[in-house]
A and B are shown apart, each in its own frame.
Chain A
Amino acid sequence: METRSFWEATTPQRPVYPTLEGDLQVDVAIIGGGITGITAAHQLARAGKSVAVLEARRVGGGTTGWSTGNLYVPVGPYLHHIAKTRSQEVASTVAQARFTALNFIEQHAQQYSIDCHFARRPWYFFTQEEDMASTIEKEAETLQQAGMAAELVTQVPGLSFDSVKRAVRMNGQARFHPLRYVLGLAKATTQMGGQIYEHTTVLDLKEEDDHCLLTTTQGTVTCNQLIIATHIPIGIHTVQTVAAPYRSYVVAMRLKSGTYPDAYYWHNDKTHHAITTHSTNSMELDMLMIAGNHHKTGQASHQEYQHYFNELEAYARQHFDVASVEFRWSAQHYRSGDGVPYIGLTHKGAKRTYIATGFYADGLTYGTVAGIQLAEMIAGEKSPWLGAFDATRGTNLATAGQFIKENANVAAQYLKDIPAGQASHFSDIEPGEGKTIEVDSEKLAVYRDEHSQLHICSAVCTHMKCIVNWNNAEKTWDCPCHGSRFMIDGSVIEGPAILNLERKAIDPRTGHLVDSGGKTSGEREINNPIT
């Protein structure tokens, strides 16, 4: 079964925005048209700034449109962990910022009549294991200290799990259709004068003393301020040493009973599963989603990629009356060591360039937080969240261990780049399979399609030269170091890489490399199934 996002499949009448051709001058340029970039653009346009969003693919087509559509105050790394690694004050600020973002989304969905199925509902966090009970108790306590109405409960309505040991409930959380929402907010932004460009890849960006200059595939953009809202900053950036890339998986199913629980659940035992429900075309719930199985991008074996989906489906069948599996997809997230995103000026000396990253798997709410905060900073307003999310804070003693672990992991990936092929010959590659092999002292990423045609690129990631690995679930090349991902033709999908993998050709008679004309920067539209 191919991977396909439920949100992409259930978004009608997707507007098409033009490609930027020529030069442009604006107050603020935003790279990335996901929930972060569009929220920031909306706020800035409303504040009277001239703003342009430059999206390399389609608006909402990155992680926003491949998420799970849940809005909630709690966070995956746990607020009590943040209270420990930073402080209770930071944990409270994070909770309050997310609470504000949730209200922001509701208010704007109503204001612009965006048909995004926004509905309030409770969040439950529960366990069936005694040794996880203290985690739930600590999280409830930290939420309460942050002023949130979390309460320990004994029942988890809507589910039929035996012997729940501990559970916490927080009312007033929400579900929505993230892609429809972002497209609605984008429309409102353009109506206020904001400009949005799709299929516009930024190839270079510079902060000068009195302006920023962006070079795109077909023009340049000069701006006073720049927001890099690409999930992780593109190019080489120090924040990439403290924000590690992970993938997680989602399976969407219909139930035989037609009865879907109206809540968002975290089930934490030995493994973590998120259980949620959504609606296809109305407010009526008709789809169950199970999410989980996080792993570092590019670091699973071929068998494991399918296993991740299979495990989620097996979990669903164990606990629900599954009628059919309708969709399965996966998405990327970036984890900071202390569990708090990096939002703000890109480094201590920067005056005009802003970033937002490290959202963990809580990005729809955090993306909104980032959009609001960055717009406030650019408008010269004092953001109450600035200290908590400061993007220049780096790491601290409490998170040094995590920092070392993640970067040692990156070093270990480099050490796998030994001069020895992983497959001896092209004939070892079956149809539908991809492998990295070595020819003429070059590592190649080779995919053989169902018609037995070979698609060959350099296997050297264009970001920082790790060797990419094959992801057989999504048919992509994933970099295990910093999370850049590429299509089988070498086009960048996401991550910090700007340039596509260099395309290669082989002389079929000799089996040697043919000079195929160098790099393929900026070409992302070719046979690209991910819109």
Chain B
Amino acid sequence: MNLIYTSIGFFALAALLGMYLLTFVLRGKETPKAIVFSHGPMAVVGLVLLIIYIAKGGPNPWESLVLFVLAALGGLYMVSRDLTGRPIPKVLAVGHGLLAVGGFVLLLVFAFGN
């Protein structure tokens, strides 16, 4: 379970940075790129750890993984829009966050629910 706990730690840090970034997107401000490029890699590390845990077999949080993968795709799309000067749709930013929060909650339930 150590992998899951470490993964949760990275997702939690990524979530904090993500919420901070969301305040910039919702106010129509430029996102600070140091936060953008910290948020993404932290989430990726959490995701990789989760995939390694699942690959080891046994009971696993598939639903959480699916939500995180969808959130990651949305995140990549938003970064590409941001760096190429196109506005980030606020709905997309909120949706990305909700998917990630959903995945995070399911992961917490899986890790601590029993």
Contact = CB atoms under 8 A, between A and B. Distances in A.
Interface stretch (A84-92, A96-104, A337-345, A461-469): A461-469
Interface stretch (A64-72, A392-400, A414-422): A414-422
Given A414-B34, A416-B34, A236 B29 contact: no
A465 B85 contact: yes
A417 B85 contact: no
B84 A417 contact: no
Interface string A381-422: 000000000000000000000000000000100111111000
Contact of A236 (B30, B34, B84): B84
B57 interface: no
Given A465-B82, A465-B83, A415 B30 contact: no
Contact of B32 (A411, A418, A440, A462): A418
A465 B30 contact: yes
By secondary structure, the B interface counts as: helix
A465 B32 CA distance: 9
B34 A418 contact: yes
Interface in B74-113: 82-85
A464 B84 contact: yes
A417 B29 contact: no
A443 interface: yes
Interface string B5-44: 0000000000000000000100101101111111000000
A417 B24 contact: no
Nearest to B37: A414
A464 B27 contact: no
Contact of A443 (B27, B30, B36, B38): B30
A417 B83 contact: no
A415 B84 contact: no
Interface in A419-445: 419, 440-443
B82 A417 contact: no
A460 interface: yes
A499 B86 CA distance: 13
Nearest to B32: A419
A244 B105 CA distance: 44
Interface size on B, as a range, is 10 to 19
Contact of A411 (B27, B30, B37): B37
Contacts of A414: 33-34, 36-37
Interface centre among B34, B35, B83, B84 (most CB of A within 10 A): B34
Interface string A261-277: 00000000000000000
Contacts of B24: 441
Nearest to A236: B84
Nearest to A459: B30
Contacts of A464: 83-84
Contacts of A411: 37
A490 to B, nearest CB: 15
B81 to A, nearest CB: 11
A206 to B, nearest CB: 15
A466 B33 contact: yes
Contacts of B36: 414
Interface centre among B29, B37, B38, B85 (most CB of A within 10 A): B85
A441 B30 CA distance: 8
Nearest to A502: B30
A415 B27 contact: no
A415 B83 contact: no
Contacts of A416: 34
Nearest to B20: A419
A458 B84 CA distance: 16
Contact of B29 (A415, A441, A466, A499): A441
B2 to A, nearest CB: 29
Given A414-B37, A419-B35, A441-B24, A460 B83 contact: no
B37 A441 contact: no
Contact of A415 (B37, B82, B85): B37
Contacts of A441: 24, 27, 29
Contacts of B37: 411, 414-415
Interface centre among B24, B29, B32, B82 (most CB of A within 10 A): B32
A465 B34 CA distance: 11
Nearest to B84: A236
Contact of A418 (B27, B29, B35, B85): B35
27 contacts: A411-B37, A414-B34, A414-B36, A415-B34, A415-B37, A415-B38, A417-B33, A417-B34, A418-B32, A418-B34, A419-B32, A419-B35, A440-B29, A441-B24, A441-B27, A441-B29, A442-B30, A443-B30, A460-B30, A462-B85, A464-B83, A464-B84, A465-B30, A465-B82, A465-B83, A467-B33, A499-B85
Interface of B: 24, 27, 29-30, 32-38, 82-85
Given A414-B37, A441-B24, 8 more contacts: A236-B84, A415-B33, A415-B38, A418-B32, A418-B34, A418-B35, A419-B32, A464-B84
Interface of A: 236, 411, 414-419, 440-443, 458, 460, 462, 464-467, 499
Question: Which 4 pairs across A and B sit closest by C-beta, in order of nearness?
Answer: A417-B33, A414-B33, A418-B34, A419-B32
